[in-house]
Structures are given as C-alpha cells and as structure tokens.
Structure 1
Amino acid sequence: MKKKFAAICISLAITLTGPGMSMVTMTYADEITKENQQDQEISNDQNNTKDGENSNTNDGKETENDLIQGNDSDSSQEKAEENITEEESKEDNMEAQQEEPSEETDSEEAVTQRKVLNINDGWNFSTNDTSTAGWNFPSGAGNGVVNLPHSWEYVHPRQSYIPQMNSKTVTYEKTVNISEIKNKNLFIKFYGAARNTEVFIDGEKVGTHVGGYSAFVFDITNYVQGKDEITIKANVTNIDTVSIPINVDYTQWGGIYRDVELISTDDQYISLEDYGNKGIYIDSNVNGTTADVNVKNEISNKSNDDKELKIVTDIYDADGNKVTGTEQKVTAKANKNVQPYSTKCQIDNVHLWNGTKDPYLYTANVTVYNENDEVLDTVSDNFGVRTYEIKNGKFYLNGQEYEIHGVGMHQDREGYGNAVPDDLKVQDMNLMQEMGVNAIRTSHYPHSQSTYNLADERGMLVYCEIPYYLLLSNAESYKTSIKEELKEMIRQGYNHPSIMMWGIENEVYQPASAAAFGKDFQINENTLVSFNSSVAKLAQKEDTTRYIVQAQIDSSNANKVCAKWSKNGNVDYTGVNLYVGFKSSVSSADDEGRKEITDTLNRKLNEYKQTYNASSMMITEYGAGANINQHATMDENFSWSSDDASKDKHYEEYQAFVLETYYSLIQKRKDIPVSFVWNMFDFSCYRNEGGIPRRNTKGLVCYDHTTKKDAFYFYKANWNQQDKFVYLTSKRYTERDTKYQQIKVYSNCEGVELFVNGQSVGKGRKQQSGVFVWDDVKLDDMNTIKAVGTSDGQTYSDEVSGIKAENKNSATSIKYQTHIQSIGWQEAKKDGQTSGTIGKGLRMEALKVKLQNKKYGGNIEYRTHIAQKGWQDWKKNGQTAGTTGEKLAMEAVRLKLTGELAEHYDIYYRVHSQSYGWLGWAKNGEIAGTAGLAKRMEAIQIKLVEKGGKAPGTSEKHYVSNQGVFYQSHVQTYGWQTWKQNGETSGTSGQAKRLEAIKIKLQKMKVSGNIEYQSHVQTYGWEKSWKKNGQLSGTSGKAKRLEAVKIRLTGEMKNKYDVYYRVHAQSYGWLGWAKNGEKAGTEGLAKRLEAVQIVLVEKGGAAPGSTEKTFIKK
C-alpha cells in the first residue's frame, strides 16, 4: 500500500516579475557529450532512443540560480491516489507482485523514499497595488489568504492592448514546517504559474522560471538545510514583452493556477531535473501482435560517491497484472543529475490504444534499489501502444482509417479563470464525448497534465502546442523562451498516447503592426525563416515519433513565407486557420451563400496545398461567433459583411449556417485529414464583440461550459451515432419576424416528422448529414413546435412552446441581379426596375432573383435559355441561373411562383432582346425572350402583381421563336389548348381535368428526322401505332383519359438530341423526366394525365430535372 506522507509545514513566497525585471540567465546543457554519454548510459541492450541528448543537466550540484525542470504529473493525481479506488487496488496488485524490502527495512531512517506534499492551502496573497481598478479575481480572493489554484487578471482601465500597461507583479507567501524531512533533498514543484515566477526561500532567491503553461521544479535543498521551518515566497508576473506569448487573442490570466508540491528524496532518485518530466520516457514499436517497449529511466545521484543501483522496470496491464519487465544493475556517477539508462522489453498479444473506441492503457512502474536491495524511489506512468499516420488525405490509427472529429479548446472557464478544478475538466471531457469529439487542439499552449491524462483515458487524440503566436523578437530572452517552452512541452507530454502532434507556432508571420511593440520586433524575413526553421528542427530532434505541425493565418503572403521554414521535412504538416464566411462577406444565408463560402474555401485550400507542395492540408481552426440571445432568420434576405465579425451582433443561427457549410465541404473533399472547430467553449479575451464584453463567442458551448448552442447539436448529429436524439434549432428565437419560416432539426435519426400546433407538417427534407429542414412552414401567432424522430423502431422527440410569429416587415417585393458582359454582377434592382444595359450591345449572361419579406409560403423559381446550351435547370431564391466566365448569352427566361405565393401573386417579366428591343410581358412560367434566333438578352424587368391584377404593360409578343418542339393537348371540358413549346406546360394542374389527346411536332430544326409519340388510353391501353408530326394521339369526344405517353426521335434528330418529357399524373403530381421512348405516367392505376412538358436537349446534355419515378405501374 502507499505510505501516507505525514503533514509537514513550510513557508513559501513567490514573486512574479513585470516589465523591466532582471531575468535570471539559466545555464542549459543542451547536449551530453559522447564521452559523458558513454560514461552515463548503461543499457542491457545498448538501445536508447533519446541518446541522452537535451537532458538539461549540470555536472555538479545545482547553484542557487539553477532552474531545475521537474516531474510531469499534476499533484491532483497524487492526491487522488490517496483514496481507496479501483486505481489503488490496481497498484496494490502491482506492488504485491514486486519483491520489496520488508516494512522494517523500508522504515529505517537511512533510506527514505520519495514523499510528496501538496501545499495548495493558506497562501498570503498581495497585489502590491494601492488601487483595485482593473483587477479581476474569478477564482479566490484578492489581497489576503487564498488557496491554490488561484487566478487573476489585470487590464488597464483603458483596456489597452499594449502589454506593458497590463503587466502586474503579485506575491504569494507561505510558511511550512519541514522538520520531518530537513535532512533530505527537497524540491518544490509548480504545475503552472503564469507567467514568470521568481522563487525565494527565507528571502534568498532560488531562481526564476519563464513561461506560464508548463510545470517546473526548483531544487531548494541548499536553502533548507538544518531548518525546521521555511518561508516560501513567489513573485508572479502576468505579462511581459521579453518572452512568449505576446499580443494574444485570449486573456492572459495570472497567478499560481495549478498545484504546488514539496517533494523529498534520498540522494539517489528518479530524476526531477529534466524539464519537468517524470524521469522516464516510454517508446513502443508494434510488430504484429507484439510490441517492443523501450523505457529510458533517468537517475540522479547527489552523493559524493558512485553508487551501485538496481533499476527494476515492470509493465502492467489495465487490470494490474504484470505482463513483462526488466532488471538492470547500474553505477550512478557521483554528483550527476539525469543519468539515462535504457531498457527494452516485449509485450506479447499487445492490446492497442485505439482512440475513443478502446483507449487501453498500460502502466510502467520503475523502482530504484540500493546495493542492500532497499527501495530508494519509485515512479510510475501510464502509456499506450499505438501507430498512426496521415496518408492519401486520411488519418489512420493502428492501420485503420479514423475520421477526426476535432475541436480547439482553451483552459479558462467562467468564474475560475485558468484555475479550473479537475472535476470540472471531467465535465468538459464528458460534454465533448457527448458531442462525439475524438480530437482536441489544446490551444494555444500546453494544458494541465490532468487534461492529458483524461485524454489518454478517454481516447482523445491531441494536438499540443507552445504559445508562440504572431511575433518573433530579436531579444535573446524571447527566442530562448520559445525553445525552452518547446522542450518543456515535449518532455512533459512525451508518454501521453493521446498526443500525436507537437505544434511549434500559431499564425507567426510578423505583420507590419509588430513594430508598435518596439524595435526588437522589427524582424526581417530571413531572420524569421532562419529562427523558425531552427525551432522546427529542435522539435524534430526532441521527438522523432510524432508529427511536428503548425497553424498559419489565412494569408497568401504569410503562407509563402511559412513554407520557406517548413521545407525539407522541418514541419510535417501545416494547417490554416480559416474564417471565410465570418470574417468575409456573404450575400445571403441560403444555397447561394453556401456556394459563395464553399467556392472561396476550395480556392484557398487548393492554393495553400500548392504553396506547401502538399497532397493534403489541415484546417487548424474554422468557426463563427454566436450569442445565444441574438437571432435572425437565415434565408436569401440575410447578408453578412466582413466587418460584422467585430460588431455586436453574432447570431446563433448564422454560426450554425457557417459551420454546416464548412463541415459539408470537409466531408466532400478527400484531402483534409484533420480539422478543428474553433472553439469548443467560449473563452475570455480582450475584444468586445458579439454583444458580450471580453468574450470570444465562437464556442459551441457558452463560457459557463454548460449551455449548449445550436451548433453543438449539429456536430452531435454527425459525430455521435450511438445516442439517438432530436433537437429543434432556434428554440431561443421566440419572436419570429415572419409567419413563413424554415424549420430546422438536428438529428442522428433515420427520419424526422414535424408538428406545428399539433398538426403534422410531414417528414423533413435532408439538407445534409444530420440536418432536416421544412421550407415555408406556416406559423400561427403563438406556436408549439414538436419534432419526432425514428431510429430502429424507437422514437425520439423535442418540443418548444411559446414561439411567436408576426409579419413585421413591409410588403413582399422582388429583388434581382444580372451578370453583364465586360461588367460582371451589377447592383441589385427591384420591383420593375431595369437590370442590364440598353444600347451598349452587351449580353446578359446570368441572373439571380430573390423575394424579400415573404408573407406567404412558396418560392420564386427561374430558368434560363443559354446560347449553345439550351434550357438550364430551375433555380430559386438567389441562386445563379445562367453562366459566368463562359462568354455565353442568355436568350430567354422563365420565372414562376410556387405554393401560397402563386395563389396571391402573379409574377410578370419582360426582356430587352437584341434586334427586337423590349418584348411583351410574360407571366407565371411563360417564356420571355427568343429561341433559335441567336439573339442575346440585354436587360430584364421583373414585377410582382397581386393575383389577377393588371399587367404592367402589353403581353403580346413576349417570346419569339421559329424552331423547337411544339405540342398541343386536348383537355376535358376545354378542348384543344394553344400550342406550347420547349418545356412549357400543356394541360392543367389542380383542376382535376384529364388530358384526352396530344399532338407533337418539330419546327425548323436544322437536322433531319421526326418526332414520334404513343399514348396509353383508358380502356384501350397502348395505341398500336406511333403517331408523328402533329398527328393526334389519344381520343377526342370519347371522354377517355390519357394515362401514359412515350416520345422518341428518329433519324439525325435522334443522334443530335435527347427528347425529355414529364407528366402531371392524378394523385402523384409531376413525375420525373423520362426520355427517348421511355414510359411516362401510370399503368393499371386508373390515374389520369393532367399536363405534359416536353424539352429537346443536346445529346448527352443534363436532364431538365429529376429523372426518378417517371412511370408507376400497378
């Protein structure tokens, strides 16, 4: 069993220094010479993957200014191990299998194993400031007695972005009794103090640590000899300009915000001096069902004599059973720290660490014995065995493709600053797992070891990075801090199987504004490239087993410079932080807006792949802000400006719109193996935007780490397929500005049905994976909305009440834009204004139309006839109809309203056509323009008129054509209708009138051939012969319905064109487009045809619409 460490008391005082502080220059022995290496390293197999390099040792005992980097686990783990838990039971099992000295031997004063004392409680804290203005203490009190972890911030009352104005130095002080361990070696370990820390013992300075995000250790043995009680003081400074980070976009919380421990050891112990790690490094290599495990153990010997030691390294499985182990006899040199000894063992039938699917962990237990076989020291650490790689645009874990579900995450939390208790970190991890996260970018600095322990246990993949952001300085202290913090990060995190990537920088590109921070920040490109190249090489040297990566800002020039230090394998992968759609303008929040975002993203990603000569790219950040109290309807009338990102409106619905668009692109591309949503949680920053002061609103969960935004459920629907659910979006949007709304649901169910005020609206249309929508849902003044999903026979539901809807905007109007030769897109026009040009001989090439302030259900739809291409597909609500960049003219256009809009309005439109000028006003789907005459459209006018109202002008001669397919139908009651052509509707819909006969002909086609057709007639069945060239097919005067038709081309027409046709059938509505003799309609169901449309398409061209369900037979 673990030995309980008797309570002792000492006094500490720590001061954080500010600008102008005297930095203590540390001596780092970055490499051990080959002679020393051979002298130090004794290995059973002579295999040491780290080769003793970068061990940061001094050959003699540490002087008072020597900084000793320490152990790698949070004291919270040590405290937790005191409890009787399953983990302790596991360790008991492990200890029971070891050969240990008896209790009598273990208790002798001559040998004292390592003891660890948490000293978090009862520190005297002082701001050293006479004013309280600008101070914030989210965790713990201000001046007076505080318990650690403790966090604070200072922001100058003018909220200055100049670091010097926000810099403060505070003092923590504590007295501790050390009488029980006064003759032992004593170390003090800080797991996190932000950001620079001076440590004093009884007024005598021990040393300074620079950096606020990693653990560090001071050897205080020489300061406590012969004393029963000591006072520890720490001076802690939050911000300076001579170390990283500087000018960051997150709050630089100050304080001792992680645990502090006193650690006592015998003269021989597992090293505490190697950049804060545990003194053991574990590597593994998988070979089939076995794994070779290499463990490098670092030993320190403070005695004046060489010591014969035995190192026992045992490996235990997750149940505490020993699976393998080794024993080494070594000679530890006198007065030497961090002496590396490597050993290798093999695990048979290895159980791999397999991400969230199976995060299996082994434990390495290292025990050091003296020559009398007495235990001197024991350290254990968990590790996992796994392989991973990126290839062919995908991520592979243990040889299997593994889809990355990544988020970025800062460590602060509302009410705590950076001093977040471990139980709340567990809550955060639970939230991420609920959403389906399996990868975390711990931004933009190393997080606590407890976070990485959780990641190991839960199977999260981790991208861990140093706080090197935006700027390089010529100051040597600044450059040193970058490299030293890199070593701390890698060495402290080395054994975590969750960590797969080391990040060396974030958006470092030295913008011109850097000069504002002083002359040291005036860096030329060559200096930047040279230094960052050296940082990358250092990272590669520190760890050859993981990817070395970086994140760059979305800038062509910045990435071109970045590529210069990344070449030759210095950096394995570069990611780009992309905010297209949030920091750039988007004209509408509809399909057209999605296309704008997607097109821009594709262009940028392709450019950056070329810049880095890479086959794939990471997206290291993407996101948009959201304030859950701000809402808007996402449709063709919503637009976003590039400067809206920094303004006070961040709509919850717009965040979801942007993230849906990004995710769709990521899923479709095959070259984005890793991506991270920015951010999992809102976090504190220095900006004021989105209507919340000092808040970055891009989180999927609010700053309370509890309230989930709509977009949280979008990712849950895509990433978590186990926990079935239905989520109605926009629940907090309680006062809607129109009664016709798109309702959206996120769900991982197979299908979802919507109910409004108890009435079914039907099944949702699947917009994309996890997203179900219902267009133009009519709401009452007050509404209850419910969604019910089904999956494997089970139902899941979500409901919201109290949704008010009111038509608040002005009358419905129409808005349209034209793309003109040599000009491009013109400014939008509306309600009958002229869009295009007259008298300039310029062709119209494309058109976008949208409705504003809709008060009825339905849409505007439109299609264009393009020179050389013919009729294009129908578009709607601001989508582009026509072409751009192809130099092709629009020749004709059709527009129509659908749904309730068609019942309340007529849509009129006329075109200005080459040679003809203004043609007459067409309406409601009729053709306006020309066909077969090679005449360009030059301008257009569009106008809404109340149903049955007067046309804006003459309706004569709105379409001029001399060729194409023409057809005429005989309709119940009405008889023969006028000839229609080229896709127009012949017949009726919604009037329950049967088609009885049809005539079809070709006119003025330039190739030979005919059109033939055959009808299926009530009672008679299929006609026995094909009709052609205007002959009657069907019956007249016999009251017999047409039920189906077939149409085909002959001769050269068959080789040049496809003939498409579709029918409107009783009970079914419009069926799909059949072609070239296929059956269209029904058979054996006694269903009448009511209307028909026929179109000629150049051979192999796109169908006019869906070709599904063209014919239904009983």
Structure 2
Amino acid sequence: MKKSSVRTKSLLILFLITFFVTNSFAQDSGRKLISLNDQWEFKKENGVTEKVNLPHTWNDKDVMDDEPGYYRGLGIYKRKLKLDDSAKGKDIYLVFNGVAQEAEVLINGKTAGKHIGSYTRFTVAITPFLNYKDDVIEVRVTNRFNEDIPPLTADFTFFGGIYRNVNLLITNPVHFSQKENGSSGVFITTPQVSAATAKVQVKSIIENLSLAKKVQIQTTIFNAQGKEILSQISTLNMLSGGNDTVVQELNNIKQPELWSPESPYLYRIVTKIIDMKTKTVLDQVSNPLGFRWFKFDANQGFFLNDKPLKLIGASRHQDYEYLGNATPDALQIRDVELLKKMGGNFLRVAHYPQDPLVLEACDRLGILASVEIPVINTITESETFTKNCLDMQVEMIRQNFNHPSIIIWAYMNEILLRTKFENDKPRQQIYFDHVRELAQKLEDLTRKEDPSRYTLLVNHGAWDIYNKVGLTKIPMIIGWNLYNGWYSGSPADFAKFLDQHHKELADKPMLVTEYGADADPRIRSFSPVRFDKSVEYCIYFNQIYLNEMLKRPFVSGGMAWNLADFNSETREETMPHINNKGLLTIGRKPKDTYFLYQAYLADQPYLKITSAQWQDRTGVADSASLFCTQPLQVATNLKSAELFLNGKSLGIKEAVDHVCSWQVPFVDGLNQLRVVAGNKSDETDINFQLQPYRFTDQLVSFKNMNVLLGSKRFYIDENQHQLWMPDQPYRKGSWGWIGGEPYKGTNNRITYGSDKNILDTNDDPIYQTQQVGIQQFKMDVPDGEYELSLYFAELVGGISKEALVYNLDNTHKKEVEENRIFSVLINGATFLNNINLAKDFGYTTAIIKKTRVTVQNGKGITIDFTPVEGKAVLNALQLRKVY
C-alpha cells in the first residue's frame, strides 16, 4: 500500500474514534472524556512549525533512511484549549497514554506536570492554571538518551513524540483519584474463584477537592448480557480535601461463567460515587471482570481453571509500516485479532507496556498476556535509574491491574547481554551485584503490589552467567530467549537447553519467551541455510521449536519473536532498519510462517498453500524440457493432501511436521494449483517465467533474466516486478560464470554474502552477494539486440560498525581492504576501464552499469573481467532481449 493511502486511512480511523469518544460519554457518569488528538502544532527544537494530529512521532521517516542515527532531541507541541462555563467548578485533567520519553506539560506557559518514561499513561491536573478564555497547552517532549531512564539500548527504535491518544478529563470535585499512577483509582481482585462460586473485592480510592460531603460508593456487577448480578453500597463521610479508600466484598456469586481463550466471558463492574443529598452521580468508572484461576507448575506446565493449557503465541512491538509507533487504534486492535486468528492464546507485551487498547482486546478475545517494563540489555548503577525502574513497574501494574488477560508481570529482558567491565573482573562483580539487587527490588515490589499474579525475569541463552549472578533464583517464572540455530549453534541445541533447565532448575517453571529466525518475505531458497533470511529456513526453524516445546509438559509455553516485523534503526541486513523475525510483515501481511502456526494451532481442519505468497517465480528448464521442477509446500493439520497442477494430480503426500511437500513441474506462464484433503481445499495461481536450459533448444523463447552472483537464493523485487535467481557455473549453450568464488564475508555468522546496508537502493539483496575473482560471464544467446546491466557494490571496507550484540557466536574478523581495480570487456570491446568501486562510487553503494549489445554471427555475449589490482567482482547481472 502506498504511504499516502495508509495515512488517509489512519486519519479516517482517527476521526471516527475522536467523534465517538467525544460524543459517547455517559451523560450521568459525572465525568467527560474528550479526545484532544486534533489541531496541534509541532516543531523540533529550532525547527519549522507544522500542523499535526495525534498520535504523532517525528521519527517515522528518518529511521528508514541511509544516514545512521535518527533525531533524538526536543519536540514541542502546542494546542489551544477552549472551555465553556460548564467546566468552571470542575476538576480538569490531561490524560496522556504515551509520550516518548520525557515530557513537561505547560498550561499558559506554566509547568503543570512532568513525566518520565515512554510507555505508561500519566495524568496532569491543570485546573489551577486555566483562564477559561484562551488557554494554551504546550507539551515539551524529548527522546534524547538519558542514562537514568530505561531502556538504554535495545533492538528496537526509540521513537519520539506524543504517539498515543491524549484526552481531556473533566470530573466533579469528588471523584475517583487521579493520583494513582495513571490508573482509574479502582482496583479489582478475585480472591476466590471456582466453577461453583466466586468472590470479588473492589478497592476504590476517592478524592474530594470540595467541601465536606457524604457520599455512597455503589459497585455493581453486570453479566455479558447487561443483567445485574450483584451490587453493594458503602457510605462515606468525606472531609474537605480528603482522600479515602473503600474496600467492598461482593461474595457468593454462584456458578460464574469462567474466562478462558475458548470462552472469554467478560462481566462488567461499574463503580459510582453518589451524592447522598442530591442522589446525583458524581463520578463513575467501568472495568472488565473475568473469573479465572491459574497456576504454573515446574513439571506439568500451565493450568487455567484446573485444565492444562500450553501457552503458544507471540511477542509484539507497537510500530507499523510508514507510521513508526504512532499507530492508530484500529491497527492496534487488529494485531491482537491476527494473533487470535493464528490460533495463539498468549501475547507477550514486549518490551514495554503498550496502548490500553491492546489489553482490552486481549480481555475480549481470550488472549492471556504478560507485560513488562523496558529494563533491557544493561542498567545504570544510580539511584535515579533504580527509582525510575520502580516507578515504571508501579505505573504498569496499577494501570493494567484490572485486566483478566494478564497473568504475569515482568521486569527485565536479557539484562546480561551487554556485560560491562569485561577487562575489570572485580568491578564487573560489583556491577552484577547491582543488577541482582535491582531485580530483587523489582520482584519484591511486584509481589507487594499484586500477589495474585506471577513474576517473570527473561534471560538470553547464556546459561552459566544468569545462574552465577543469581537471577534464576529471584522470579517465580524464568523466561529464556533462545535462538539456537540462528544467533548461535544449531536448532538441535534448543531441546538440549530445555532439558538442562528442567534438570538443573527443577523447581522453576519456564517459558520460552523468544525464539525466531529472520524471514525476508522477498527471499526464497531451495537450499536454505542459517542466516540466508529465506522464508524456507524460517519454516524449518519454527517446526523444530514448536515440536520440541509441544512434546515437553514442563515447558509452559513459547512466544514467537515476533508477531510482526518491526523497526530497529541500527540493523542493516537484507531489509535495513527492519527486524524480519515477524510472522507478519511490518505492514501485517502474513508470511508462510504465520500459516504454519495456523496449521499447528487450529482446532478445525486447516489446509493452506503456503508458497502461494510466492506467486511469481522463475527458473531454468529441466534439461530440454518445457517445465522447471521446483518444490511447493502446503501447511495443514490433516494427515495427508493431494495436489493438482492445471487439473492433473501430482499425487498424495503425507504431512511431516504439518507440511506436505511436492516437486512441481511448473510450465511457462500460468500454473493453476489446487490442494485437496477431505472436504478442505485451497487454490492459487502461480505465474512462472521459464528460462531455457539451452538457448538453442528453441522450446522456450528467451525474454529476460536476472541473476544473483554468489547466491543460492531467489529475490522478488516487488516494486519493479522483477524475479532474481541464483547463478550457475557456465554450461555450453547456456549461461553462467567462469572463475572465482562466492563472497564469504568477514564473520562466521553468514555462510555467504554481506549483511551491510547497501546505499542508494531498496533492493539490498541484489548487491549483498557477489562472485569474487570472476574471470568471465558467458551467455550463448542467439543473434539479436540485447540490453545488459551489470550490478556492483564494494562489500569490503567503509565505516567500521559495531557487530550486533545478539549474534552470540559472532567471530568478527577485521576487514582487510584491497585496492580493487579492474576492467570489463564485452565481446572484446572495453565497457568499463580501470573501474575502482570504492574510490569511484563509495563503499557499499549500489552501482548499475547498463549498455546495449548487438549479438551476431552466433557469438553470444562474453563478458571478460580483467584485474589490474586485486580481484574483480560482479554482484548481479540482468539481460533483456530487445528484439
């Protein structure tokens, strides 16, 4: 979808949500909640003022360009506020759902409040600063690096801005407290739940900013049909300026409808403050109520309502294609719907609290959840950092306390990934002590704030160091982020790690909180290998992980990393600035892995041609044939399936790890595929461009071909509708390279090619592989007129950048730059003379050299590479027959 289309849809959704929020508050609730997302002016420090609507981030574009880094500084938002006389005598607040990361709120030039942290709600009382005529709201926001505010480093982008909704809250002077860390001031627990009976406790904190008043606190439980189930009234004599807490017990709820992923039954609790004298409602809040009980067992896994349940789902980041983290409400909700449609029953809200709509959707759809604060990779050993962590944990818990979907509070992620003081072991031990102390403080705080839920600390796969530091002893559940077969080792190591935990930490329940492999949806391979970014390797990887988790009862669950691709500005690789481990693209288009999960998790018969994503293919004909045989996969939870090509059966195949595979003889042009199993079927059309086995065969007319040198993968250029295929050594009568070897890079992580960002292109995979030391490239094409394009990029040298810390077995060698100078001749005539890629064009820069070639006398095309100094290279080649 074009960027303008996304923006248009987003603004339409924003308008509709603003209209309904503004106009649908309960007239007798005693409060008004009005959207303030429109009519803002924004500028960066010393920048130009522009008109914006919220949600808004100033980093939606600069995180995707070729220039390293993005704006981390001050942004200033201003808006006029018009209040009529009905607002006088009321208490007025601004409610910010998310501002990244430090905010100062001014009313008419005076500071009304401040907040630290990007990911939690905060409320600012503005009544004393208003003139009720021409009030001006100003919000000064900065996402600058601050060593006292987590996160300090992470594999995601720290977008700046007012990137979630802002509301104006108007209440009576007597109201539910707005001083409870951004919460509603009402906290609900279910101290007893069974299939037979349930008890509910409601704690309400009430504030009186007027004269002494006698009030009633009425709490009512309604079922999903709106019928009143139980109600209780408490009387309270409030002093002027008083702040009181009322605890109500609503007992003996017979045979409650239980909440579960299969049946997410939601009750509703409405709590009112009623003026005893006038009988008017002074304030009212509504909260969801779900009756469920749960436990984690170190041997048998997770149980919900006394039934075993394997938790399978995904983690989620909040950013979206073209929008950064300023994601409209409808798209936030859609993510949870996509997780549910996949068959998932768990969402790890990672690595920070997210929009309130996300957990509301989890409640409604039956998705269990964990939420965590962004203490990631490393800490700062300061009192201020510790205080900010503790404040964030309290805000997270209190704001989300009433969601029945939440079963876990978490507080650290891979905190020993970047270990400090490597060359000073005594000092490092002090640092480790501080990390452990912070973890214990967060654990103690969490258990005090909410004894009803579990705690979680998440580690990466470095078994020894987390045990040595003592972090595996602190939380109630241990989470492991495991990437065996991706960042380190092989997929077979995954099962060994699970069994090691169960043996050596036998009393600790465990979750696999992250696992995944990058899948660039544009890259396919018939010989997938680690780190080729192919969809096929990712399918293989996830099959192994799902199989091993599902067969072990002690593994409570696993969360795929990630639900969708997300922005990580420091990443390069095939799709720069994007982490491609999502089951969906960053625009939420399903990948083959999403369909694989549906096959594993669906409770109804499921059948899907996963390779349907790859609707345009190319390949070389099998010998002198009119077809090219390539594999095709079908995801299913059925035992077997039958595939038909253009109406002809290709046979029945048994499913192996929920996948049936066929070798399909694709013909040139349209290939109609249909798979059948029982009464289920799926179909798709694949357009195939058949390349001749020999140009002289004349069975297939040659049109064009695009070849990746030094590569074993296919690349789909969706923008120009071009298909790129792997190279081959020269074969007489055909085409291919002579001499040289594939570029192997400077680390052991990648078996071929480079993971550097290629400048001046969005088609990085075309340039990230090459044949080094190439002598010739020959194409025995028939006589005619051709357009030839040669693609180059110097992959060695340039600015030295830090290797990704996540690549655990990365043995990065120092690059040895060579002065690479060579000439290129086409059919004996000089085309490029003494070309020096680095000097003439720059390192890791996309270069295309195009020409016309007239082929005559049956000579075909011969491209000679003559080295002057160093070795000649060729990254890719494109040939198109003109006539």
Aligned with 2:301 (options 381, 394, 408): 394
Structure-1 separation of matches of 2:509 and 2:171: 50
Structure-1 separation of matches of 2:442 and 2:502: 23
Letter aligned with residue 481 of structure 1: N
Q: Are 1:168 and 2:68 an aligned pair?
A: no
Partner of 2:88: 182
Q: CA deviation at 1:436?
A: 1.0
Q: CA deviation at 1:402?
A: 1.9
SS for the counterpart of 2:155 is: coil
Q: CA deviation at 1:397?
A: 1.3
Partner of 1:472: 379
Q: CA deviation at 1:159?
A: 5.4
Aligned with 2:557 (options 659, 667, 674): 674
- Contact (CA 8 Å) 1:189, 1:215: kept in 2 or not? yes
Structure-2 separation of matches of 1:498 and 1:559: 29
Aligned with 2:676 (options 789, 804, 819): 789
Structure-1 separation of matches of 2:30 and 2:419: 56
Letter aligned with residue 232 of structure 2: T
Structure-1 separation of matches of 2:68 and 2:99: 23
- Contact (CA 8 Å) 1:473, 1:522: kept in 2 or not? no
**1:263-304 CA distance string (max 9 Å, x none):** 22222111111001111111112144211110001101223x
Q: Are 1:658 and 2:541 an aligned pair?
A: yes
Q: Are 1:294 and 2:176 an aligned pair?
A: no
**1:73-120 CA distance string (max 9 Å, x none):** x99989646678xxx9xx8xxxxxxxxxxx9xx8xxxxx932222211
Structure 2 unmatched runs, 5+: 1-13, 623-627, 695-727, 732-883
Q: CA deviation at 1:730?
A: 6.4
Q: Are 1:727 and 2:609 an aligned pair?
A: yes
Q: CA deviation at 1:329?
A: 1.0
Q: Are 1:361 and 2:266 an aligned pair?
A: yes
Letter aligned with residue 579 of structure 1: Y
- Contact (CA 8 Å) 1:474, 1:521: kept in 2 or not? no
- Contact (CA 8 Å) 1:728, 1:787: kept in 2 or not? no
SS for the counterpart of 1:170 is: strand
- Contact (CA 8 Å) 1:700, 1:709: kept in 2 or not? yes
Distance 1:604 1:246, change over 3 A: same
Structure-2 separation of matches of 1:179 and 1:671: 61
Q: Are 1:771 and 2:771 an aligned pair?
A: no
SS for the counterpart of 1:579 is: coil
Distance 1:401 1:335, change over 3 A: same
Partner of 2:188: 282
Letter aligned with residue 126 of structure 2: I
Q: CA deviation at 1:662?
A: 1.0
Partner of 1:1067: none
Partner of 2:831: none
Partner of 1:621: 514
Distance 1:353 1:152, change over 3 A: farther
Q: CA deviation at 1:177?
A: 1.9
Partner of 2:4: none
Structure 1 unmatched runs, 5+: 1-73, 92-102, 107-111, 131-141, 586-595, 810-851, 856-1114
Structure 2 counterparts to residues 684-1083 of structure 1, below 5 A: 684-705=567-588, 707-722=589-604, 724-729=606-611, 731-732=613-614, 734-736=617-619, 739-768=628-657, 770-774=658-662, 784=671, 786-791=673-678, 794-804=679-689
Structure 2 counterparts to residues 30-69 of structure 1, below 5 A: none
Letter aligned with residue 633 of structure 1: F
Partner of 2:246: 341
SS for the counterpart of 2:326 is: coil
Structure-1 separation of matches of 2:563 and 2:526: 24
Aligned with 1:428 (options 313, 328, 335): 335
Distance 1:120 1:783, change over 3 A: closer
Structure 2 counterparts to residues 421-500 of structure 1, below 5 A: 421-500=328-407
Structure-2 separation of matches of 1:123 and 1:723: 50
Aligned with 1:238 (options 140, 143, 153): 143
Structure-2 separation of matches of 1:376 and 1:78: 24
Structure 2 counterparts to residues 135-146 of structure 1, below 5 A: 143-146=49-52
Q: Are 1:524 and 2:443 an aligned pair?
A: no
SS for the counterpart of 1:425 is: helix
- Contact (CA 8 Å) 2:64, 2:577: kept in 1 or not? no
Structure-1 separation of matches of 2:509 and 2:129: 55
Distance 1:477 1:78, change over 3 A: farther
Aligned with 2:288 (options 379, 382, 394): 382
Distance 1:173 1:522, change over 3 A: farther
Higher Rg of the two aligned structures: 1
**1:922-959 CA distance string (max 9 Å, x none):** xxxxxxxxxxxxxxxxxxxxxxxxxxxxxxxxxxxxxx
Partner of 2:447: 540
SS for the counterpart of 1:687 is: coil
SS for the counterpart of 2:546 is: helix
Structure-2 separation of matches of 1:601 and 1:566: 19
Q: CA deviation at 1:416?
A: 1.6
SS for the counterpart of 1:313 is: strand
- Contact (CA 8 Å) 2:310, 2:550: kept in 1 or not? no
Q: CA deviation at 1:151?
A: 1.6
Partner of 2:698: none
Q: CA deviation at 1:126?
A: 0.7
Distance 1:393 1:76, change over 3 A: farther
Structure-2 separation of matches of 1:521 and 1:468: 19
Q: CA deviation at 1:209?
A: 0.1
SS for the counterpart of 2:661 is: strand
Structure-1 separation of matches of 2:135 and 2:185: 27
Q: Are 1:228 and 2:133 an aligned pair?
A: yes
- Contact (CA 8 Å) 2:64, 2:576: kept in 1 or not? no
SS for the counterpart of 2:387 is: helix
- Contact (CA 8 Å) 2:638, 2:655: kept in 1 or not? no
Q: CA deviation at 1:741?
A: 4.1
Structure-2 separation of matches of 1:713 and 1:765: 18
- Contact (CA 8 Å) 2:477, 2:508: kept in 1 or not? no
Q: CA deviation at 1:545?
A: 0.6
**In terms of mean alpha carbon deviation, does 521-530 or 406-415 score higher?**
521-530
Structure-2 separation of matches of 1:156 and 1:670: 43
Which one scores higher on RCO, CA 8 angstroms, separation ≥ 6? 2
Partner of 1:5: none
Give the aligned CA root-mean-square deviation in angstroms.
Answer: 3.1
Structure-1 separation of matches of 2:152 and 2:429: 14
Aligned with 1:549 (options 456, 462, 470): 456
Distance 1:780 1:148, change over 3 A: closer
**1:856-877 CA distance string (max 9 Å, x none):** xxxxxxxxxxxxxxxxxxxxxx
Distance 1:215 1:432, change over 3 A: same
Q: Are 1:572 and 2:572 an aligned pair?
A: no
Structure-2 separation of matches of 1:360 and 1:79: 29
Partner of 1:1035: none
Structure-1 separation of matches of 2:504 and 2:150: 28
Letter aligned with residue 717 of structure 1: A
**1:301-347 CA distance string (max 9 Å, x none):** 223x543221111111111111101111122243233x221001125
TM-score (norm 2): 0.71
Partner of 1:835: none
Letter aligned with residue 660 of structure 2: F
Structure-2 separation of matches of 1:114 and 1:309: 16
Partner of 2:324: 417
TM-score (norm 1): 0.57
- Contact (CA 8 Å) 1:470, 1:507: kept in 2 or not? yes
- Contact (CA 8 Å) 2:151, 2:374: kept in 1 or not? yes
Q: CA deviation at 1:522?
A: 9.9
Q: CA deviation at 1:784?
A: 2.4
Structure-2 separation of matches of 1:559 and 1:125: 45
Letter aligned with residue 682 of structure 1: D
